[in-house]
Amino acid sequence: MKNPLARQTLGVCFCFFWSTWTAGAQISVTASEAVAGARLPNGSDLSVTIPGWDLNGGNAIVVLFSAEGAGEFSAVFAGEELTVIGAFSGERHYSGIAYLLDPSATVGDVVIDAVNAGGSRMSHAYSVVSLANVGALAGSDVRTSNGDLSYTTIQDGGYVLGSGVNNSFNYSPPVTVSGNPDVDLINQAVDGNCTVLHVHGEVSETGSYDDFYSGSLLAAATVAFESSGVAAPADLEVTSISRSGGIVAIEFRGVPGRTYSLNKSLNLDFSIPNSQDSVVLDVDGIGRLEDEEAESPDLNAFYRVEEQ
């Protein structure tokens, strides 16, 4: 039996409640791939297809792209277009991230297209990542020089990805980052023309963050995601208790999809079930339980909300 963490009193009707804490589910990587592409001829656009990409149990796909000789890019997964966050240096360096949450398909082709900038040759790299437990976009940021890329998460278990490019043909200096992204997807000179960094990492706790990117940076982008997990008092949080005539009503917050019942006792012995009501919580996690027979001589009854 759980220990009571709170007791609330309504007139001569004494009500006992139990509450526990459930942390949000940490976003995790379910699949990833990184490719440093071959240099394209002067003035050529890029179009590359990754056939049969599998989310592998994930619910989001992210594509990172960086290049010298590109001015913009787009990505499509299984026919659905991804949202793009990107930065262009104004000349020929570009870095961006595209994402799609809860796509209709879990397996499909990834198509990446990039538009040439200024008729120059294009040296490029791309990374594809599948993520699980993604709930929503937390924030994004771009820049075209060394400095912070910032974002804020409002619950635990988040995730962040970053991309950057400079004009270092010999990996000196490399693009670097300090902050939450601590796992490299790609970190190298590409085709002897530019240096690319694609990184990712957990944002395990809520807060506002500044990831510092440097290394003669010319273009960079970051995207952060909120976890889909519940980061709130989960099993029970009573929000109101009321009595009207012969009806006692208890409103509370709990775990969506779970079933709760209202057990009643006249002497604090709950070993013999005496359920008055039950409810399965909807996605908002808000529930209401009632005893419609709270008449005398039951004015001194005790109630316990129990998860089934």
What does DSSP assign to residue 298?
-
Is the pLDDT at 295 greater than 50? The verdict is yes
Share of the chain above pLDDT 70, in %: 86
Neighbours of 70 (CB within 10 A): 30
For 3-133, list the strands marked E by DSSP. 6-10, 13-17, 21-22, 28-36, 46-54, 60-68, 70-77, 80-81, 83-88, 93-101, 107-116, 123-132
pLDDT for residue 8 is more than 50: no
Backbone angles phi and psi of 39, in degrees to 5: -65, 135
Look at the pTM and tell me if it is higher than 0.85. no
Give residue 233's pLDDT: 39
State the virtual CA torsion across 174, 178, 181, 182 in degrees, nearest 10.
Answer: 80
Any idea what the Cα angle at residue 144 is, between residues 140 and 147, rounded to 5°? Answer: 75
| Residue 229 confidence (pLDDT) | 66
pLDDT in tens, 169-206: 989 999 999 999 999 999 999 988 899 999 999 999 98
Alpha helices in the chain (DSSP H): none
- Beta-bridge partner residues of 115: 72
Query: Going from the N-terminus, what domains does the chain have, and what CATH number goes with each?
Result: 6-20+234-307 (2.60.40), 28-227 (no CATH)
- pLDDT value, residue 283: 67
Q: Give residue 48's identity as a one-letter amino acid code.
A: V
Pairing of strands 302-307, 13-17: parallel
